[in-house]
Structure 1
Amino acid sequence: MRSVLGSLFIIIAACAHTLHVSTTTPSIKEPVIIEFAYEDREFQKITWVKFKPLASPAYETHFLKKDSKEGVYRFYYLLFPLKPGEVQVRYSLRVKKASVEEIHKDILGTGYEQTNPIEGKVYDIAINPTLLHVKDVKANLFGKFIIERSIDPKAVKAYEPVYVNFIIKGKGYPPKFAKLVDIEGVKILTDKPQEKIVYKLDGAHVNYRYSYAIIANHPFTINSLHLKGYDYKSFYTINLPTQKIVVTPPKNLVDKETYPKPIEPFYKKVVAALGYIAIFIAGFLSAWIIMRYFRDSQKEEIKNAKDAKELLAILVVKYPECFEDEKRALQSGESVAKIKKRVLKGLKQCR
């Protein structure tokens, strides 16, 4: 009995671990730093140490870094509580040990390729869970963020694009946006979002860029944006006002005014009729030549489009009523070369 108790005491004394949590009373979506250290005096026998918080829908975790020095293994995690109230965080710690001879054999080599893992034993070590008391907060943004919006131009001709760009920067919990531009009766093209997130000890560092192109043949108003933020100490607001866009409609080339017909001699009518016939024939021939040239120039413009963005702009501005499938395909990242072939085939049907 004494020998068993003695061996247990030796095992406990040989290793120790410490767990530090930056706060146990965070607000919802506030970054919590978990620092774990495992120390083992028999570090020569250790092949690996694995530590992690167990997954749960009540929180979100991100691995930051790990290091080891003189038998001390340190792990750093970032945790965001997602639900208010009491949240229990559980952990997993596994340590694999092998004999010093096996480890030396692996380090020095045997003259043959190492095909088998090092023989050893894996130990599952229990760690007491952490109980968090999470405060509920109602906000749109958690952390400190700024949002910049640019609109260019603010006056366009019909079917010319208006470009709207949003830049979101800050640190905290990464925000998620469903739709930043919401306008009825216009065509909104969305570029691929650029979202950069770097997780650090003070939270997630965020740099987002969202780009839109808006096409319309009538004036419209870009919607305002009102968001409530919480920087874990106090509230703040972000307010972007509405912006009216002036759109010049296409000119009406048909003269709708009517005038009384002048009284003309009969021979003048005959001469005029012959003149009309001649003009019609000449116009028909010139229209055929122009249409042929125009169609060729259209094909060249489509063939010379450098990328998906340029081809999409050509289709939106010059073919607003055609090629809807091709426009969606360009936005989803399909092959530009294949889409060009489909557009060139469909030019005759698009008047």
Structure 2
Amino acid sequence: MSDLQHTLVLKRASTVVLVAIMLVGGAGIASAQEPNCDDIGEMAQRGAALFGEGNFEEAARVLEQAYACEPHDLLLYNIARAHQQAGRCVLSADYFRRYLDTSDTTTRTQAEGYLPEEQECADGYEDAYASAEQALTARDYATAISSLEDALVLSNEPEARVYLGEIMVTAQQCEEAQAYFGNIRNDDDLSQAQVSRINDGMAQAQRCIEADDCDEARGDCEEERISAQLAYEESIESQQTIGLIVMGAGGALLAGAIIHDAISQGTISDYEDAAARGDSAAFNSLRDDVDSAKTVSWVLYSLSVATAATGLIVYLTAGGDNPAEEMDCTDVCWDFGVGSPSGASGVWLGGTF
């Protein structure tokens, strides 16, 4: 018999089993009602319809509910088949084993044929999952993510899906993690605890994104602060240079005053000699020259002092308030709702590590 023929036979056998469960449920099982177990036969029929439509995850869920109401052996086989078709070999292997542990022989041959491959797949999943945990312990996030992705290829388990997103957050792949969580948060096979972990992971990813924005803003602020500091230092240097130039001009005026005094000293000496001799003609002739020389000398000395003082003031008051000192780049993160500069720091190892 070819593989295709074998597959068709097994599929037909599964359908027959599903119908058989529906009939058994309708005939006898439905009489043993449990809370929320309205009609086991109807649940089995719905599971069969979902399986036929290719909605294997929902079929498994409905059949598991039926089994919880009435643990019929054949339901274990059909649940295993639904998980098998849904790519959940961990669960399918478990349900095939549980079915083979019963005394039912209706589909034993089929279950024995399926179990080895499903168990091999489940073992591979467990190995990949364990490798991810080991890599995470060593903070080798790339290997942890790769191992979980390998595990999910083997068996699309919700725990591995959630765990993968948590590791992405831990690895600071914040935007990728947020998008990933958004894609899986509405999966039907998630437990409430897993949904809660997804919500926590999305919140953590958002804080991580905000922290990245914060770091970028802090870097921009720091660049602006450094630029402001350099501009401030340049302005100080420029103002001090001007102050020195002005003080130099004051010194030059002082030197000019001294030179003028030296040049005028001869006229002043002649003026004093004429006064001592009583030579009124010479005295009157030199008086205007002496007065003019003294005026020029006083002006030069005054200007030299005023200019030097102005230059000194310009030099000493260079800079003024430093705008860079008023730029606190540690507070810029608050604009992003982080709460503090370290709002999303540290390593978060997820809900199950």
Q: TM-score range by the shorter chain?
A: under 0.3
Q: TM-score, normalised by structure 1?
A: 0.24
Bigger radius of gyration: 2
Q: TM-score, normalised by structure 2?
A: 0.24
Determine which structure has the larger helix proportion and give its number: 2
